[in-house]
């Protein structure tokens, strides 16, 4: 059985905020998420093996902020199953978005 040399994921999550973000803050959150996903993927797969890498992060709404992350990757050759790697990158992107919101002190503290 051959494996598909493609990996793709698109998911969304929401982050509770104390106020709506400015456009600059939204950009910071999206950039942090995108950079985290790209960095993870490029650490795991050499650039020369990539045929296509697309990471798209979009944030909308106010309270809560809805973050959509789409990751798509294609290898130049080979039959490696990329879905687990794409899922890891997506999870790391969400974590980076949440970390950036916390760094900006805009996250609602949820008691544990």
The pLDDT tens digits for 29-88 are 999 999 999 999 999 988 888 888 999 999 887 778 889 999 988 888 766 788 899 999
Tell me which residue of 6, 25, 4, 1 sits closest to 102, measured CA to CA. Answer: 25
Interior/surface letters 74-108, b for 16+ CB within 10 angstroms, e for the rest: ebeeeeeebeebbebbbbbbbebbbebbeeeebbe
What's the pLDDT at 7?
A: 52
The CATH number of residue 37's host domain is 3.30.300.100
What's the pLDDT at 1?
A: 29
Question: Is 1 within a domain?
Answer: no
Question: Is 79 within a domain?
Answer: yes
What's the pLDDT at 92?
A: 95
pLDDT band at 4 (very low <50, low <70, confident <90, very high): very low
The CA distance from 80 to 108, in Å, is 40
The total number of structural domains in the chain stands at 1
Tens of pLDDT, residues 89-112: 999 999 999 999 999 888 776 544
Q: Could you say which DSSP state residue 104 is in?
A: T
Question: Is 81 within a domain?
Answer: yes
By the 8 A CB rule, do 49 and 76 touch?
Answer: yes
Question: Is 108 within a domain?
Answer: no
């Amino acid at each position: 059985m051959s494996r598909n040399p493609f990996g793709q994921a698109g998911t969304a999550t929401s982050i509770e905020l104390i106020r709506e973000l400015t456009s600059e803050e939204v950009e910071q959150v999206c950039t942090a998420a995108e950079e985290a996903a790209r960095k993870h993927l490029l650490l795991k797969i050499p650039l020369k093996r990539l045929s296509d890498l697309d990471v798209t992060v979009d944030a909308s709404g106010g309270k809560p902020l809805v973050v959509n992350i789409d990751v798509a990757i294609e290898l130049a050759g080979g039959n490696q199953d990329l879905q687990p790697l794409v899922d890891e990158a997506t999870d790391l992107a969400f974590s980076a978005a949440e970390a950036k919101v916390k760094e900006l002190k805009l996250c609602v503290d949820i008691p544990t």
